[in-house]
Amino acid sequence: MSILVYAEHDNASLKPVTLNVVAAAKAIAEKAGGEIHVLVAGSGCGAAAEEAAKIEGVAKVLKADSAEYEAKLAENVAPLLVKLAEGYDYLLAPTTTGGRNVLPRAAALLDVQGISDISGVEDADTFVRPIYAGNALATVQSSDAKKLITVRGTAFDAVAAEGGSATVEEVGAEGDAGLSSFVGQELTKSERPELTSARVIVSGGRGMQSGENFAMLERIADKLGAAVGASRAAVDAGFVPNDYQVGQTGKVVAPELYIAVGISGAIQHLAGMKDSKVIVAINKDEEAPMFQVADYGLVADLFQAVPELEAELDKG
Amino acid sequence: MKVLVAVKRVIDAYVKVRVKSDGSGVETQNVKMSMNPFCEIAVEEAVRLKEAGVATEIVAVSCGPQQSQETIRTALAMGADRGILVQSDEALEPLGIAKLLKAVVDKEQPELVLLGKQAVDNDFGQTGQMLSALLGWSQATYASKIEKADGELTVTREIDGGLETVKVKLPAIVTADLRLNEPRYASLPNIMKAKKKPIDALTPDELGVDVAPRLSVLKVAEPPARQAGVKVGSVAELVDKLKNEAKVI
Ligand SMILES: Cc1cc2nc3c(=O)[nH]c(=O)nc-3n(C[C@H](O)[C@H](O)[C@H](O)COP(=O)(O)OP(=O)(O)OC[C@H]3O[C@@H](n4cnc5c(N)ncnc54)[C@H](O)[C@@H]3O)c2cc1C
Ligand SMILES: Cc1cc2nc3c(=O)[nH]c(=O)nc-3n(C[C@H](O)[C@H](O)[C@H](O)COP(=O)(O)OP(=O)(O)OC[C@H]3O[C@@H](n4cnc5c(N)ncnc54)[C@H](O)[C@@H]3O)c2cc1C
């Protein structure tokens, strides 16, 4: 019984969520036994593969280094997963736009019902996953011989990035499916930490009123070493880019501290952040549902409270 | 170009769902049902493609119980031309639904199938990718913009780091994300007109598809509840608590 983890990376380095997926793999290995291998598929991805080889608990790294994996198009990556799946009982990927795009495609080709976004491992074939925006937790048992699973990163504590010494083995590429091609990317550039791995998040909602006003939150974020997030309403209004969205249909986060500013606390938003350790709500409406989950609530006008907060943090 | 849109009937996104006390599922009796919001976005996109002269015919398909007809009617009222209901009272999983949709695609031969990126009840987010795999077609998930050129689509996708643009060959599968468009409300005259549009009924047996589930639900439970904390009187008090009580800054 062995487990293959599909690594998320940008060829040069691994995305931190890969460490959480390996943690889920360890939880499965405790029930089912077997080795944990990591697949790094990309183009010029040697550095990412080397990094994967150092992860604690990883026995082997498979490197598929070829031009057709450069953009990680699902049409090209899925056949590779299908070929490699012969040797594995489990295929795991993070519940990211990368993992969710490719894993179901591979699952269908293998005639397997994939299991999305697991937050717990009960047994070798039994997993817990949130449904209905996290308002219910389903325990599901799979009868498929192979299990293809996406993992909710925030539900599993990352394993150590160092300490392992896995061998790196090259695997052959499967060719270009010729169905799709990559045109370009507009990635949000930021010196701040990534939302899904940040220790502190400062998030703004419709109450912020404009994109310019988010500068107030950015200054707070920089003082706290935090990432900046947003509600769907703030993204829809064009205040901030789409990748800021926290929630059921955006990113799921669980930082040590989540500061929600001018966010009402709709169930779809709560679905993405209610597992944060400490939640702060700043809202002028004392009835806002966000206060029902907040550890510390401040009923105030944000245009007063946020500058005050900045000044208070400056005091050190 | 003929367009197929897959639409799902779900518990309305704004209903607070309740877990049944016996742990067998969530309460669905006397609960407001609606079209999955991402499917509404998919239907809207199909209608806009038709208004732009790109799409010629729109077929709305739903798999599920008899009541899924209402969901198809909603799509027809928004501007779809006809409907197909694949009727099944079983709990369908994405793989089974993808197989049913493939059988419908084989009959209907559309050039484009639009789906939602995820259904807000089970939150699987798998059906589109699975259908694309079974057909051997191209796939563009999480679409926020679709443009048609000769024999291909240029699709902008919402990804974790920002936006990505891909070209996919037709025929293609596209799944809709939130920013693709804002769905219209059906007008009363269009709701009336929709009542006359045809809906064909099929069954998984007639389509020769085995939809036996692969997952069994052992238990559905409520997540641990979070206790509301305290209200603080000032920003200074907030910072003090975060530093000295919660110790997170
Ligand atoms: C299918 C679907 C998917 C969705 N997915 C997501 C998702 O992933 N993430 C998400 O966030 N939402 C999502 N939503 C939307 C969600 O239902 C809410 O509409 C959204 O979260 C509201 O954002 P908001 O709290 O910023 O805005 P509002 O609900 O408008 O709240 C604004 C808040 O700001 C406060 N405020 C205003 N001015 C001030 C001020 N000067 N000072 C202090 N407070 C102020 C107000 O009191 C209010 O509470 C989804 C909805 C659907 C249907
Ligand atoms: C554990 C489990 C328990 C379930 N319990 C029940 C239950 O109690 N009652 C019940 O009725 N069903 C039940 N189902 C079926 C379930 O509601 C979904 O129909 C199925 O799992 C698809 O998942 P999803 O909707 O999250 O798909 P996603 O892959 O998230 O859906 C994405 C898109 O696919 C398309 N799509 C999805 N489903 C359909 C459909 N039926 N028809 C047309 N297009 C569709 C839509 O365009 C949708 O936007 C259960 C399924 C599972 C796995």
Q: How confident is the model at residue A115, as a pLDDT?
A: 97
Amino acid (one-letter) located at B116: G
pLDDT, tens digit (0-9, with 9 covering 90-100), for B167-178:
999 999 999 999
> Which residue(s) pair with A251 in the sheet?
A246
Using alpha carbons, select from B7, B13, B12 the residue that is nearest to residue B32.
B12
Contact residues of ligand 1, CB 6 A cut-off:
A 205-207, 231-234, 245-250, 262-264, 266, 268-269, 272, 283-285, 288, 301-303; B 13, 37, 120
Instruction: State the DSSP H helix or E strand holding residue B39, giving kind and residue range, or none if neither.
Output: helix B37-51
pLDDT, tens digit (0-9, with 9 covering 90-100), for B53-79:
999 999 999 999 999 999 999 999 999
Contact across the interface for B137 and A179, Cβ inside 8 Å: yes
Any CB–CB contact under 8 A between A215 and chain B? Answer: no
pLDDT, tens digit (0-9, with 9 covering 90-100), for A87-106:
999 999 999 999 999 999 99
How many CB contacts within 8 angstroms connect chain A with chain B? 258
- Residue B35 beta carbon below 6 angstroms from any ligand 2 atom: no
Q: How confident is the model at residue B173, as a pLDDT?
A: 98
Share of chain B above pLDDT 90, in %: 94
Q: Cβ–Cβ contacts within 10 Å for residue A288, how many?
A: 22
Do the Cβ atoms of B165 and A183 come closer than 8 Å? yes
- Residue B38 beta carbon below 6 angstroms from any ligand 2 atom: yes
Question: Which one of the ligands is nearest to B142 CA?
Answer: 2
Q: How confident is the model at residue A281, as a pLDDT?
A: 98
B181: three-class secondary structure by DSSP: coil
- Classify residue B211 by its DSSP letter: -
- Residue B206 pLDDT > 90: yes
pLDDT average, residue stretch A204-230: 98
- Classify residue B19 by its DSSP letter: B
What are the angstrom distances between the C-alpha of B185 and each of A180, B12, B58, B178?
A: 34, 16, 18, 16
Using alpha carbons, select from B40, B58, B77 the residue that is nearest to residue B189.
B77
φ, ψ for residue A195, nearest 5 deg: -50, -50
Task: Classify the C-alpha dihedral A6-A7-A9-A12 as positive or negative.
Answer: negative
Which runs of consecutive H residues, i.e. helices, occur in chain A? 17-32, 46-53, 74-85, 97-109, 214-224, 232-236, 267-273, 290-293, 302-314
- Residue A1 pLDDT > 80: no
Q: How confident is the model at residue B72, as a pLDDT?
A: 98
Q: How confident is the model at residue A130, as a pLDDT?
A: 95
pLDDT, tens digit (0-9, with 9 covering 90-100), for A246-278:
999 999 999 999 999 999 999 999 999 999 999
DSSP string across A90-102? EEEEESSHHHHHH
The number of helices, as runs of H, and strands, as runs of E, in chain B is 7, 13
CA of A266 to the centre of ligand 1 (A): 6
Q: How confident is the model at residue B225, as a pLDDT?
A: 87
A132: chain B residues, CB-CB within 8 Å: 11, 17, 26, 120-123
- Residue B38 pLDDT > 80: yes
Q: State the closest ligand 1 atom to the C-alpha of A303, by its place in the atom list counted from 1.
A: 41
pLDDT, tens digit (0-9, with 9 covering 90-100), for B8-26:
999 999 998 999 999 999 9
Residue of chain A with shortest Cα separation from B27: A136
pLDDT average, residue stretch B155-181: 97
Tell me the C-alpha distance between A288 and B219, whole Å: 32
CA of B225 to the centre of ligand 2 (A): 26
Interface test with A, best of B123, B138, B174 (most A CBs within 10 A): B123
Q: How confident is the model at residue A137, as a pLDDT?
A: 96
Packing angle of the helix pair B127-135, B94-108 (nearest 10 deg): 50
Candidate of A117, A202, A213, A232 to mutate for ligand 1, largest count of ligand atoms within 8 Å of Cβ: A232
Tell me the C-alpha distance between B30 and B235, whole Å: 45
- Residue B123 beta carbon below 6 angstroms from any ligand 2 atom: yes
pLDDT band at A310 (very low <50, low <70, confident <90, very high): very high
Residue of chain B with shortest Cα separation from A281: B231
DSSP string across A266-299? -HHHHHHHTT-SEEEEEES-TT-THHHH-SEEEE
Contact across the interface for A105 and B121, Cβ inside 8 Å: no
Contact across the interface for B140 and A144, Cβ inside 8 Å: no
Q: How confident is the model at residue B228, as a pLDDT?
A: 84
Q: How confident is the model at residue B155, as a pLDDT?
A: 98
Q: A172-201 in b/e burial notation, b at 16+ Cβ within 10 A?
A: ebbeebebbeeeeeeeeebeebbbbbbebb
- Residue B215 beta carbon below 6 angstroms from any ligand 2 atom: yes
A229: region left, alpha or beta (phi > 0 left; psi from -120 to 50 alpha): beta
Tell me the C-alpha distance between B96 and B102, whole Å: 10
Q: How confident is the model at residue B227, as a pLDDT?
A: 86
Do the Cβ atoms of A117 and A92 come closer than 8 Å? no
Return the residue matching tokens 């780091």: B161
Using alpha carbons, select from A240, A287, A288, A242 the residue that is nearest to residue A262.
A288
Residue of chain B with shortest Cα separation from A187: B162
Q: How confident is the model at residue A286, as a pLDDT?
A: 97
- Whether the full predicted model's pTM is greater than 0.90, yes or no, is yes
Do the Cβ atoms of B172 and B137 come closer than 8 Å? yes
Tell me the C-alpha distance between B154 and A184, whole Å: 11
Contact across the interface for A74 and B118, Cβ inside 8 Å: no
Do the Cβ atoms of A183 and A70 come closer than 8 Å? no
Q: What dihedral angle (degrees, nearest 10) is formed by the CA atoms of A162, A168, A174, A176?
A: 50
> Which residue(s) pair with A37 in the sheet?
A4, A60
pLDDT band at A77 (very low <50, low <70, confident <90, very high): very high
pLDDT average, residue stretch A143-152: 98
Q: How confident is the model at residue A103, as a pLDDT?
A: 98
Residue of chain A with shortest Cα separation from B99: A108
Dig out the tokens for A166 from the structure. 């896995």
pLDDT band at B122 (very low <50, low <70, confident <90, very high): confident
Q: What dihedral angle (degrees, nearest 10) is formed by the CA atoms of A76, A78, A83, A86?
A: 170
Contact across the interface for A104 and B229, Cβ inside 8 Å: no
Q: Cβ–Cβ contacts within 10 Å for residue B244, how many?
A: 8
Any CB–CB contact under 8 A between A144 and chain B? Answer: yes
pLDDT band at A113 (very low <50, low <70, confident <90, very high): very high
Q: How confident is the model at residue B148, as a pLDDT?
A: 96
Any CB–CB contact under 8 A between A73 and chain B? Answer: yes
Instruction: State the DSSP H helix or E strand holding residue B188, giving kind and residue range, or none if neither.
Output: helix B188-194
